[in-house]
Amino acid sequence: MSAIAQKVFGSTLFFWLVVAGLCLWNVMPLREKLRFGIDLVGGTYITLEVQTEKAIEAPLVELMQSLKKQFKKNQMPKPIAADVKPIYDDKEAEKVKSYRLVFLFETSIDAQAVATYVKEQYRNFEVVAVGSEVTISYTAAEEKRIKHEAIINNIEVIRNRIDRLGVSETPVSQRGENNIVIELPDVQDPQKAKAIIGKAAVLEFKLVDKVAATEEELLYEYDGELPGDLEIVPGKIVHGVVSGYYAVPRYADLTGKLLADAKAALDNEIREWVVNFTWNAEGGQKFYELTSKNHYKSLAVILDNVVITAPTITNSIRTDGRITGNFTPDKAKELALLLKSGSFVAPITFEEERQVGPSLGAESIHNGLLSCIVGLSLVFVFALYYYRLAGLLAFLALLFNLILILFGLARIGATLTLPGIAGMVLTIGMAIDASILIYEKIKEELRNGTRLKEAVTSGFSDAQWVILDGNITTFIVGFVLYQFGTGPIQGFAITMMLGIIATLITGLFFLRSIFTFILSNLHIQKLSI
């Protein structure tokens, strides 16, 4: 082994060369290791509209059930009727604006007593008593908060569902007051993703009052008129025929919101695919109360207003349970996925679907890479012409800089978009700035008669504070863009921040290691700079 090779292996430069090699090995091939955005590989844009007014209904139903228990516990007047009713923005078009809770009492005195009690206990509601009727509705500020949280929660549910389909880090963002935009880049089966996204996944457990083969037969059981506190829910469709109709309470005894986990599994006893579920602490207590007080009654398991199974309660269950229903493996896994991801706080509807072809993405990649190559070439020519050998060293540091950026994008799982490529091009110009600052300081020291080794040491030491100051300031701007931006802006910001970190590593450490090795081992007395 030559003396120069021995010196290379024993220097800090060798460490950085190994780091560069490992980073390059980890990002090749780029198409497999990097996640590309929809503007580079094509895909589907989906726009959803959230029916935010429905987010008001569910908490009012919970309030109604809670108040009924409180009235009974505190020996207060019992309402003769209770319901959650819509408030119409346009009655002719039946456009619902919001909801309100209405209690009807026997006398106005009872109504006033209850209204006073509710006002004292709940500050976020407007309570009005007119005659024997008490109307409870949210304040404008509280209603606005609930609707906003409904959109945020729906976005989180969508992200969970898409992630479990193997399409992680998919951009999902709010647009306007009640729209959500989803970008599905390079998805093999967008229709499957769309089907999963669109399901409400509202799981309810309700005691069955009566069951019949047809809806007419069920109504006959009630002399043609269904009681106001009941509703009819159809069963699953088997071989093109509804398996039955169930009369159940309008409001659920328990919902899937209290589930802690759900998994699909093959049950060896019954030789069927089932969905095993586990309740959280609150859900377990409610499920125990429900099952312990209703032995030998049928409990309907309702998913999106369809009874998927209605087993008979034979014992008390607290924490765990299972859902059967002649599931195929795919259907069981899909149901488990939906239950784990949660149900929508407010229903959604599909407003728009746009396809972006891969040919457009290929053109974007080509143009983006071309801009990087042109930028690198111009920087190389400038560095070589102006700084000669030192310019070549700066260009090597710049190549290491780009390798570090690509490695960082791959490791953190960030999505590379067209604005991200723009951030990389910008990084090329910013990265060479660090070398220019160092070189100009070295030239200044050499003009003042400082020896070469001391001039290089002084150049790196004095310039590092200016480099740190400028790059940290830019990094803060990138952080703000990432925190408050969406989609393409975040892609640009993350690439820029990674570029700044790479610039500091290559400019202050890698480039310095090259100079240290050259001056310490090659005995150069004059530097072409």
In tens, the pLDDT along 57-94 reads 888 988 898 888 888 888 888 899 888 888 887 655 56
The total of other beta-carbon atoms located within 10 Å of residue 61's CB is 18
The band of 133, judged by pLDDT with boundaries at 50, 70 and 90, is very high
Highest mean pLDDT among 211-220, 316-325, 335-344, 366-375: 211-220
pLDDT at 279: 85
DSSP H or E segment with residue 432: helix 418-447
- Range with the lowest mean pLDDT among 94-108, 178-192, 261-275, 387-401? 178-192
Over residues 226-254, mean pLDDT: 86
pLDDT digits (tens, 9 = 90+) for 468-486: 888 888 888 888 888 877 6
Higher pLDDT, 212 or 29: 212
Average pLDDT of the chain to the nearest whole number: 81
pLDDT at 528: 66
Highest mean pLDDT among 103-112, 160-169, 396-405, 475-484: 103-112
Confidence check: pLDDT of 30 > 60 = yes
pLDDT at 33: 66
Q: Which of 489, 497, 500, 372 is nearest to 37 (CA)?
A: 489
CA distance 383 to 51: 58
Q: The tokens 């990094």 sit on which residue?
A: 475
pLDDT at 109: 92
User: Do the domains 203-330 and 54-144 match in fold?
Assistant: yes
121: Cβ–Cβ under 8 A, 6 or more apart, which residues?
A: 70
Domain 54-144 has CATH 2.60.40: no
pLDDT at 169: 56
Share of the chain above pLDDT 90, in %: 8
Q: Are 459 and 445 within 8 A, CB to CB?
A: yes
Over residues 197-226, mean pLDDT: 85
Confidence check: pLDDT of 394 > 60 = yes
The CATH number of 3-42+357-521, from 3.20.20.150, 3.90.550.10, 1.20.1640.10, 1.10.510.10, is 1.20.1640.10
The band of 525, judged by pLDDT with boundaries at 50, 70 and 90, is low
pLDDT at 5: 47
Confidence check: pLDDT of 400 > 60 = yes
The band of 111, judged by pLDDT with boundaries at 50, 70 and 90, is very high
The band of 9, judged by pLDDT with boundaries at 50, 70 and 90, is very low
Over residues 308-317, mean pLDDT: 84
pLDDT digits (tens, 9 = 90+) for 358-392: 655 566 667 767 777 787 788 788 878 887 788 88
pLDDT at 132: 92
Q: Where are the beta strands (DSSP E) in 285-327?
A: 299-303, 306-309, 320-327
Please, what is the Cα angle at 121 between 105 and 103, to 5 degrees?
20
Over residues 240-254, mean pLDDT: 86
Higher pLDDT, 73 or 32: 73
Q: Where are the beta strands (DSSP E) in 357-445?
A: 415-416
Q: What is the 3-state secondary structure (H, E, C) of 435-464?
A: HHHHHHHHHHHHHCCCCHHHHHHHHHHHHH
pLDDT at 23: 78
Over residues 9-17, mean pLDDT: 64
Residue 277 burial (10 A CB sphere; 0-12, 13-18, 19+): buried
Q: Which of 44, 135, 47, 45 is nearest to 98 (CA)?
A: 135
Highest mean pLDDT among 104-108, 423-427, 438-442, 455-459: 104-108
The band of 437, judged by pLDDT with boundaries at 50, 70 and 90, is confident
With H, G, I as helix, E, B as strand and everything else as coil, classify residue 224.
Answer: coil
pLDDT digits (tens, 9 = 90+) for 38-58: 777 777 788 888 888 888 988
- Range with the lowest mean pLDDT among 6-10, 143-147, 236-240, 302-306? 6-10
Over residues 314-322, mean pLDDT: 81
The distance from CA 248 to its chain's CA centroid, rounded to whole angstroms, is 35
Q: Which CATH architecture has domain 203-330?
A: 2-Layer Sandwich (3.30)
pLDDT at 224: 82
157: Cβ–Cβ under 8 A, 6 or more apart, which residues?
A: 341, 342, 343, 344, 345
Q: What is the 3-state secondary structure (H, E, C) of 57-111?
A: HHHHHHHHHHHHHHHHHCCCCCCCEEEEEEEEEECCCCEEEEEEEEEECCCHHHH
pLDDT at 8: 46
The band of 245, judged by pLDDT with boundaries at 50, 70 and 90, is very high
The ranges assigned to domains in the chain are 3-42+357-521, 54-144, 203-330
Q: Which of 527, 266, 282 is nearest to 388 (CA)?
A: 527
Q: The tokens 């377990």 sit on which residue?
A: 284
